[in-house]
Amino acid sequence: MSDLLFTPATKIAALIRRRKLSPVEHIEAVLAAVERLQPKLNCFVTVTADQARKAAREAEQAVMSGQKLGPLHGVAVSIKDLIPTKGVRTTFGSVAYADHVPDRDDTLVARLAAAGAIMIGKTTTPEFGIKGQTDAPIFGTTRNPWDLERTPGGSSGGAAASVAAGLAPLGLGSDGAGSTRIPAACCGLVGLKGTTGAIPYQEARDAFGNVVAAGPLTRTIADAALMQSVMAGPDALDPWTANVAPLGQVAPALLAQDLSGLRIGYLARAGNKAVAADVAANTRAALGVLEGLGAEVEEVTADIDWMAEDQRVLYLCSIANNLGPVVDRFGDRTDPVLRAYVATGKKHDVAAYIRAINARTRLFRAVQGLFDTYDFLVSPTLTRTALAADFNGASGIVDIDGTAVGPVQPHWTGFVYPFNLTGHPALSVPSGWARDGLPTGVQIIGPRHADGNILRLGALLEQALPWAARIPPVAAA
């Protein structure tokens, strides 16, 4: 059972195509594990067991009758509860949508189904995905399978917790300020935020100013690449997707394991004061692997305004304008962090918002300028391991190596949000484990439309520092 639950999606799909594994057997194993671990992890809002079993039987019949099979035929996938699913409750983590049942599938859900994937349920998210921890009044607290007292990160924390615990090899998350990469780092997974437009994002309120990218949470690079590729392609509702290659072209120089001539800029800071010693050591170890393959690594010393305060202005003004009416209507039934964010966002005037928009442009151009010197940028994904499950994202102070350093943004998540604002592809992969036994992550950033290149660099790290075989204690018990 454990072997099957922790088998990569690519292998599961291959076994199903060769009739060595039944889709019914795979889905039943996943659903049994969900039933066993959901009470401990609380990572699902809704489990679609009946629909999944029906789809598995149909998938098995398709195999036996020799029908053409999609690349994910029969493979279990979970869908974050921010993403609409036809006929299946989609709450957005909010009391305002507790009984909401959409009449349509988001295009990504439809594309995964067309590729043969079988949805097993909707995973938890903080209310409207607003924070880097996953808890909400509507369902409670989601917990990290490596340590139940810690958060799995957010806002795709339910997806990350489920994949890390073996509850489906694929999880669809979304990332508006680090929300796939944060939980990937917290849970020892691969988390990809592609170039803006690499895959459609139909749920954006502001399609032209969109900073959100849906994307995979997986245990392996190959699974992430496969999942991303089946979701890609133009979409009439997303103006960024026109003529965008799914993963871009992998540079020929990366196809071998000789990285001679490759230039990597190491971001030791990005608006944050400090990085935990074990996180920094693991990041340097990952960079050492790339140096050992011939890459040149140097610390980025360019003076970059990471716009930490302007980031908050953009983020909180958006929340205040879009979600203020929910707080006005439902009051203390909403997440206290949401209420605090709305209140703070309302204090900023239009001039502050315009200044922040201008700062975003300067940040984009500064990052673009770095790619005149470097082929890739590499940083820690987070400054430390997962915070406590009950950490207060609105007023809590992050502790690093025994020193209180400041609020979550930028002192825990300062490395991730800038690349939502610039639109560059960013990938988090495990870099090792810290003294507290929790995973750490390293982030790889590439030029726009170099998604395939950052996945290839991640694959080289995966080969040298394999991580997928490690199983969290809650799943191994």
The tokens describing 67, both together, are 């029908």
Distance CA 243, CA 432 (A): 37
Closest Cα to residue 335, out of 78, 125, 52? 125
Of the residues 94, 155, 318, 428, which is catalytic? 155
Q: How far is CA 348 from the centre of its chain?
A: 29
Q: Is 179 a catalytic residue?
A: yes
DSSP result, 168-183 = -SEEEEEESSSTTHHH
The one-letter code for the residue type at 72 is L
Of the residues 22, 78, 174, 179, which is catalytic? 179
Closest Cα to residue 130, out of 336, 308, 293, 304? 336
The tokens describing 280, both together, are 């920094």
Q: How far is CA 327 from the centre of its chain?
A: 26
Q: Is 155 a catalytic residue?
A: yes
What crossing angle do the helices spanning 308-330 and 350-370 adopt, rounded to 10°?
Answer: 130
Distance CA 464, CA 459 (A): 9
Distance CA 27, CA 21 (A): 11
Element containing residue 435 per DSSP (H, E):
none
DSSP result, 177-228 = SSTTHHHHHHHT-EEEEPSTTSS--TT-SSSTT---EEEEEESSHHHHHHHH
Q: Is 80 a catalytic residue?
A: yes
Counting DSSP H helices and E strands in the chain, the numbers are: 16, 15
By three-state DSSP, how is residue 6 classified? coil
Beta strand pairing call for 170-175 and 140-141: unpaired
Of the residues 22, 80, 131, 162, which is catalytic? 80
Backbone φ and ψ of 367, nearest 5° = -65, -40
Closest Cα to residue 217, out of 162, 143, 147, 150? 162
Taking a C-beta distance cutoff of 8 angstroms, is the pair 212, 193 a contact?
A: no
Neighbouring C-beta atoms of residue 237, cutoff 10 Å:
13
- Just list the catalytic residues: 80, 155, 179
